[in-house]
Amino acid sequence: MFARLVKSVARVNGLPTLRQVFVPQPVVGRTPADLRAYIDGEDPIIGGAFIKGVIDGLTGTLVAEDLSSLAFDRSTPRLLPPDTVANLRRQFEESRWTDFLPIVLPTEQRVAAMLKGTSRKPEEIVGRLQPARFRELWEFNVEKVAVNAVMAGARPEYFPVILALAASGVTARSSSTTSQATLAMVNGPIRNTIGMNCGIGAMGPYNHANATIGRAYGLLSQNLQGGSVPNESFMGSQGNVHSYSAVYAENEERSPWEPFHVEHGFKPDQSVVSLFMGGWYIQFGGGPRETWQEQFRRSLRACDPYSGPVLALDPLVARGFVDRGFDSKRKLAEWCSANSTLPAREYWDNQWVQTLLVPQAVAGVEPYASYLKAAPEDLVRMFRPEDISITVVGGETGAMWKMLSGTYLRSVSIDDWR
């Protein structure tokens, strides 16, 4: 599955003739005997014995192409050649520059109007994005972000939020095989000035700003990072519905706790967008009722141990927790941490815990180092308090809560992009 990808990565890193050999997939979950059979077997991509490819790669003769140090430029134009609306729509779709929903074509007039939503200059560099850590970083300016904002149907007054998302360095189109999505939440005064929804239906398709800001984030991610094309620059096995649009605002006015951005060092009157990596699972419940502790323990244990949850609590739920003594988000996060336990055997058997946290455990990073020493049936905490984000969203039509997969990554100032 990864042959096209690794050849592409070698090419854009200036080594198009890098020697590569392949074994069948998967490696994950295979026994030592299975893997030895891979080594003794055929290369399913190039053909011939796998091990012969290894030896030849190390000892073979180099040819002129290997030594040519081929450099090339892949510039993209500012404007496309003039064409009809129908042809341009077809070109955008066939080039995979859309999410396959209708787009607004980014004419010069529309892009110019979008640029009026910021004081920043069109040619100013905003940032760089990549679909995965091993891919090259593509760069983009304010105008390129505006182009994608227009395509998504966003309005100029939303543009500072979209620029902040673009400047975050976090893509909404990760190439991860896990089909990772990026969730984003807006805090501060801009929520109200641009009419974002933090009440009834805030996490659904019921608000122009929420919907188009989220869509713009997705489109700009795929187009400004060099694509999100299945089997090339996107390897998510199943895809993720959150990738269409996953931006909402926190209901600060109805929350009993301090806003999320204030927890993270910003002032209440600053406008900020916070980013969460995940979008893999969603749990749901009501309350808190008499058995809320049992329900929360069960739900926390059902979370993926590599991806800490974002708790999205309706204001009624948040106030219910205050009534039970949780007068801060931190207290609730600490309770959740203490009650999110799993046998060490099960914790370490998770593919991503194994891949990403074992090296930290071996390097002595706590709590993972202690977890690695735990007996198989010892209970370990799946999440530290700081791995659990508490947010308040909803319109108080019901005391409902969600736990969404979402590792907090960072918060970005929106005011810097006004």
Question: Interface residues for another protein in 46-75 (CB under 8 A)?
Answer: 51, 54-55, 58-62, 66-75
- CB nearer another protein, residue 70 or residue 101: 70
Binding mask 182-221 for another protein (x = CB under 8 A): -------------------------------------x--
- In the complex with another protein, the residue whose CB is nearer, 74 or 269, is 74
Contacts of 406 (CB under 8 A, 6+ apart): 183, 276, 277, 278, 279, 307, 308, 309, 310, 389
Determine if 100 is a binding residue for another protein (CB under 8 A).
no
The whole-angstrom separation of Cα 150 and Cα 161 is 14
Tell how strand 181-187 and strand 247-249 pair up: parallel
Q: Of 9, 111, 318, 332, which lies in the binding site for another protein, with binding defined by CB under 8 A?
A: 111
Is there binding between residue 36 and another protein (CB under 8 A)? Answer: yes
Q: Which of 44, 48, 52, 136 binds another protein (CB under 8 A)?
A: 136
Q: Which is nearer to another protein, 170 or 186 (CB)?
A: 170
Least CB distance from residue 138 to another protein, whole Å? 4
For residue 22 the two structure tokens come to 């392949």
Residues 226-255, interacting with another protein (CB under 8 A): 226
CA distances from 409 to 140, 183, 259, 383 (A): 21, 10, 17, 15
- Return the residue matching tokens 């998504």: 152
Report residue 118 CA to chain centroid gap.
25
Cis peptide before 26 (omega within 30 of 0): yes
- If the CB atoms of residues 91 and 397 are measured against another protein, the closer one turns out to be 91
CB of 40 to another protein, least distance (A): 8
Angle formed at CA 204 by CA 201 and CA 209, multiple of 5 degrees: 90
- Indicate the angle between helix axes 159-167 and 208-224, nearest 10 degrees: 40
Answer for the pair 405, 152: CB distance below 8 angstroms, yes or no.
no
Q: Of the candidates 9, 115, 129, 163, which one interacts with another protein according to CB under 8 A?
A: 129
Comparison of 68 and 193: residue with beta carbon closer to another protein: 68
Q: How many residues bind another protein (CB under 8 A)?
A: 87
> Cβ of 251: how many Cβ atoms within 10 Å?
24
The residue within the footprint of another protein, chosen from 9, 118, 138, 388 (CB under 8 A), is: 138
C-alpha of 238 from chain center? 15
Minimum Å gap between C-beta 251 and another protein is: 33
Give the chain's end-to-end CA distance (angstroms, integer).
Answer: 43
Q: Which of 3, 7, 8, 92 binds another protein (CB under 8 A)?
A: 92
Please give the residues from 316 up to 375 whose contact with another protein meets the rule CB under 8 A: 351-352, 354-356, 358-360, 363
- Contact pick of 9, 43, 117, 148 for another protein (by CB under 8 A): 148
Task: State how far the Cα of 183 lies from the Cα of 389, in Å rounded to an integer.
Answer: 12
Contact window for another protein (CB under 8 A) among 86-94, 263-271, 285-293, 396-404: 86-94
* Geometric angle at alpha carbon 247, from 119 and 333, rounded to 5°: 115
Task: For residue 28, state whether it binds another protein (rule: CB under 8 A).
Answer: yes
- Work out whether 293 is an interface residue with another protein (CB under 8 A): no
Closer residue to another protein in complex, CB, 32/265: 32
